[in-house]
Amino acid sequence: LVSPKRSIVFDCFAQSSMASKDDDNGNLIKTTDLFVDILIQEGVKFVFGIPGEENLDFTESMRLRQDQIKLILVRHEQAAGFMAATVGRMTGQPGVCLSTLGPGATNFTTSAAFAHLGGFPSLYITGQKPIRDSKQASFQIVDVVEMMKPITKFTRSIASGNMLASTTRRALSTAVTEKPGPVHMELAEDIAAEMTSKTIFEKHVPRRPVAEAKAIRRAAEMVMAAEHPVVLIGAAANRQRAINALRKFVDETGIYWSCTQMGKGVLDERQPGFLGCCALSAKDYVHGALDYSDLIIMVGHDESEKPPVIMRPGSSRKVIHLAFTPASVDNVYSPTMEVIGDVANAVWQIHEHIRENGNKKWDQPVFKRYKEMSDVKIQEGLADNAFPMNIARVCADLRKVLPEDGILSLDNGLYKVVLARLFKAYLPNTVLLDNALATMGAGIPNALGCKFLFPDRKVVSISGDGGAQMNLPELATSVQYGLNVVHVILNDNAFGMIKWKQAGAGFTNWGLDLKNPDFVALAKSYGAHGHRVESADEFAPLLQKCLDAPGTHVIEVPFSYEWISERLKKIPAEVHDLHKQIYKEFGQCYKEESFHRVQSMDADLVSVSSAMMGGSSPLVATSVKPAHTPPAAAPVQITKRAKTTTSAQVGKAEYTVQKGATIPFYLGGEAMTPNGNLPVINKYNQEEFCKVALADESHVDKATEIAATVGAEKMRELPPYVRQQILQNIVEEATRRRDEFGYYLAIEAGKPIKDARGEADRLIQTFQLAAEEATRIYGEYANLEIAARGKGYSSLTKRVPIGPVSLISPFNFPLNLAAHKVAPAIAAGCPFVLKPASTTPLGALLIGEILSKDPNMPPEGFSILPCSRAAGNLLTTDDRFKLMSFTGSPGVGYKLKNQSGKKPVVLELGGNAACVVDDLNVGLSQLVEEVVHGAFYQSGQSCISIQRLFVNENIYDQFVDAFVSKVKSLKAGDPLDEDVFIGPLISEKDAIRVEEWVHEAVTGGATLLCGGRRFDQVFVSPAVVENVPKDAKLNVEEVFGPAVTIEKYSDFREVVAEVNNSKFGLQAGVYTNNWNRAHYAFDNIEAGGVCINSTPSVRIDSQAYGGVKDSGLGREGIKYAIEDYTELRVMIMKDAGKL
């Protein structure tokens, strides 16, 4: 049958113990047994369909193997085909569906065409009457093979069982070869039952050919020569390796990008470089940016999709077609050159060429401005309370409720265009829409196909009332198999899109109105849960409730196309205005060709006045910069933004630190800028914000010498009221510049702006406390006549400065934790050298700036030096320092302690804080708010954020439901956005670590209730992980990220013991209304602080703060820190006061 050199043949029985009919020699197998064995070896888990009598041998073979492959009985063959195509789309491996002959087979055609145009690998199996001895003439006979030829990649009728194995392997290989698509096999009733040889061809994955080296080199040269290129991502880029290559390419080059409808989700659409989805072919906001470009890199474009942009022949703008297959040139798509081959490899090779030739990066202020302005425009309608609802509000609520990995399956209608524009996809294959065949009726079955594949993910389908009714009986399939899925039906009682087109064409409203059933009652009749929205504000909470509840849910949403109609009328004019505004700002940036492309977008609307043109044609520019250079003191506003437009992002001219500046360090009170070696990175967009001077060993040594000599003397001699004045001056300056301090903190630490301003407030309070304590450093008198030998003796004690102190502060609270070291040093009269964290040095340097301008502060009394680790080691080992105060990780802290010699050490180290929820006395809503904040503020990057959560079993389910729901609602994004709660982690390395620890816990048997996935490089979605193994890092170590473990308990003594089952002991929280339990916790929890009816995440800046075990030594809190920064000195007197 085949050459042994070309394939390997396996004995089926050697591979499995599958039951089958056999002859006495054991060499033969029934054809359908072999067919099912092949499917199992190929990895097929489901066969969707409706069997007929011609398929009974096949279904019997499946029954005998039902533990390995499942038959999913649907209500219509079309739906089976959609489900199979969706499996192929989601996995890259063929989904399989089954039908009988004749009418069953003809029902496959729409879904096969859907898979064919969409590029979804799938296998359509149809039955047929016996081909050797049929007694039914032409009854139900249709030439199915000929019917399927135009809509499949391969179709065959199996004429003999001996041909089955090779034909199946060929069909499945063809299905996944680029461009993927459907294949068809017809199996007649008599062939199905015959015996055949037991051979299975080994599955192999062919390597895709790579593009020609010359084409790669030429494409790379075109990219490097372009001044303002863009990437446009199509459906065929949705391959895992291609996704990874593209992500690195746009991240590292800074090239802006867009996508087609079916390219959504290939890259995370929250990225700052995302210009928008080309849901329309022209006249949308994104097209202005595309028309401004001088090169479009079309990655994975498939001409089956509706064109994302009109490409006019003869245009000087170049287009690179980078795809698996050659371009089909027509009037709307005419690439300049083609790179044909494996997409991932081609992107990688082009990227490597760029790296090897200067590693060019593109700074694109015009694209930034397009994005900023269109991001604002596109928000219209998202908060609209009109009812019936508009699609923008539906879209906003869907995005708010669906988790990152939630799947949205769209049917076809005008609403699809709006959802493609507004609904941001965070992960691949999370927005399933069809922009190729664009068939109605696919939304519901596609959602079911996803749910069979991913039972633990949230899945929502969106259908119009017309499209929903084409496959609404599949609700019965969903109920039969116990699927937890939500189907939203947008009900306008009409075929709304066609009705809208009818009106637009000037025709009379006729023939398109529907008299719909009661969808709620209909859903219930199928055994599903039916719901109807009565107001716009009801939709989001109802959707959340349905997603969290088991079962199949149908939500009917009364819906109007009026908003879409009016909105689409306005967009061309708004686009025109947008172009005018950008041209005013950046006129010199527009090359003439770019400008004319923008002009020609809409001849009726786009005409630039001579006033705007200044009476002349746009000039050709060799670099991209604003038409008018702003004064040096005023920042260019667009460089202050990354993804969203907020008032905090604009910045102010009076702010000390502007983007691109180099900031000095302070050595002996003097500002110095010997270099700019330390970049300060905006943690959100990973762009360099400014540079900071970096100290070396010589700088640290000089600072130490100054502090140990002149500085120690001058600081010691300062009277308390002067120290108070110095501290009070910091309070006044920080109060005046509070918003500025918060802005820098959001930039350098990625801390959400509200929390950043809150930390600025805490810095102010900390220095205010120190100012008060500076005049309260008291001594005491003691009568020492406690025995005969002490007769006549008395003593006076006072606290004196300990001397020069070295201070090392961490990245997570760069303002307030620096304040907690600097403020007591000044109050106590100690000169200091402070090393701030290299990732967040600005906060400490702001304090240095204020001190350097204070005439009361001896300049020799302070140095603030961002420095290398080698230089920083001197702060530990140098004996001229009389105390070291360090905040950071236990590993580093105890290493420094061992190196510190004789000097005392204060260590404020890590923790994996526990919180016990014993009752709901404070109220469920308030409790959840407090615990969510305590666990996830600053993305969990706090040593007292809640990491381990223990909940009384009597309230566990109630609490967990509310807690997880609240966590899912937390908004992640730009820290400068006032509504953002979850910001980036301090580094990509830390984000990867957190994700890996969550994965390790889940792999070990824990249950992931939400989150735990990394996105945008430095973000991790807030994770709640249930029943984590005791030895998992998530339990044992300090996660320092947005992840919380949760488990129930029954015995209070046991849960206290579990809290203590940790090497850390910083703070713990206990919510209880039982005063005895509160005291028991206080007496028995091994921690520096026990917070009753509060989370452990609370730190009041006047409290004694510190830990036990691996959580540190000593205490912070101004009053208590002053004790560490001073020494008791006693004067013993004999016969004092006696004459």
Six-digit token pair at 962?
Answer: 């509310």
CA-wise closest residue to 96 among 203, 185, 187: 185
CB-based contacts of 274, cutoff 8 Å, min separation 6: 256, 257, 258, 259, 267, 268, 371, 424
Residues 887, 809: contact at Cβ < 8 Å? yes
Which pair of tokens denotes residue 321? 């077609």
Strand 200-201 relative to strand 9-10, pairing: antiparallel
1069 DSSP assignment: E
Q: Which two tokens stand for residue 457?
A: 């993910």
**What span, in angstroms and rounded, lies between the C-alpha atoms of 218 and 621?**
24
What's the gap between Cα 684 and its chain centre? 12
CA-based torsion, 634, 636, 641, 644: positive or negative: positive
The pair of structure tokens assigned to 527 is 């055994």
Q: Report the distance separating Cα 141 and Cα 815, nearest Å.
A: 80
Q: Letter for the amino acid at 565?
A: S
User: CB-based contacts of 1107: which residues, under 8 Å, 6+ apart?
Assistant: 908, 909, 911, 1064, 1065, 1066, 1067, 1087, 1088
Q: What CA–CA distance (Å, rounded) separates 798 from 793?
A: 17
* Rounded-to-integer distance, Cα 578 and Cα 275, Å: 14
Give the integer Cα–Cα distance in Å for 171 and 125.
Answer: 11
Phi, psi of 816 (to 5 degrees): -75, -35
Pairing status of strand 862-864 against strand 70-73: unpaired
Label the pairing between strands 122-128 and 182-188: parallel
- DSSP β-bridge partners for residue 862: 832
E-only strand ranges, 662-816:
662-663, 665-667, 670-672, 678-681, 688-692, 780-783, 793-801, 805-808
H-only helix segments in 797-865 = 816-828, 842-852
Helix, strand, coil proportions of the chain in percent (round to 5)?
A: 40, 20, 40
Q: Which of 97, 278, 943, 1010 is catalytic?
A: 943
Q: Which two tokens stand for residue 244?
A: 């990874």
In the block, residue with structure tokens 């007292």: 944
**How many C-beta atoms lie closer than 10 Å to residue 380's C-beta?**
15
Taking alpha carbons only, the member of 332, 286, 283, 285 closest to residue 305 is 332
Give CA–CA dist 45/41, Å, rounded.
10
Cα separation, 42 vs 40, in Å, equals 5
User: Would you call 943 a catalytic residue per the annotation?
Assistant: yes
B/e letters for 172-199, b = 16+ CB within 10 Å, e = fewer, are bbbbbebbbbbbbbbbbbbbbbbbbebb
Residue 85 C-alpha from the chain's centroid: 28
- Look up residue 81 and give its two tokens: 């085909």
Is there a cis peptide before residue 180, judged by omega within 30 degrees of 0?
no
Amino acid in the structure at residue 957 = D
Distance, CA of 419 to CA of 462 (rounded, Å): 10
Residue 950 identity (one-letter amino acid): F
Q: Could you give the residue ranges of the DSSP H alpha helices within 254-383?
A: 285-292, 343-356, 365-377
Q: Which of 585, 733, 773, 908 is catalytic?
A: 908
Tell me the backbone φ, ψ of residue 593, rounded to 5 degrees: -65, -45
Q: Is 908 a catalytic residue?
A: yes
Q: Cα 341 vs. chain centroid, distance in angstroms?
A: 30
> Rounded to whole angstroms, how far apart are CA atoms 570 and 576?
10
Q: Which residues are catalytic?
A: 908, 943
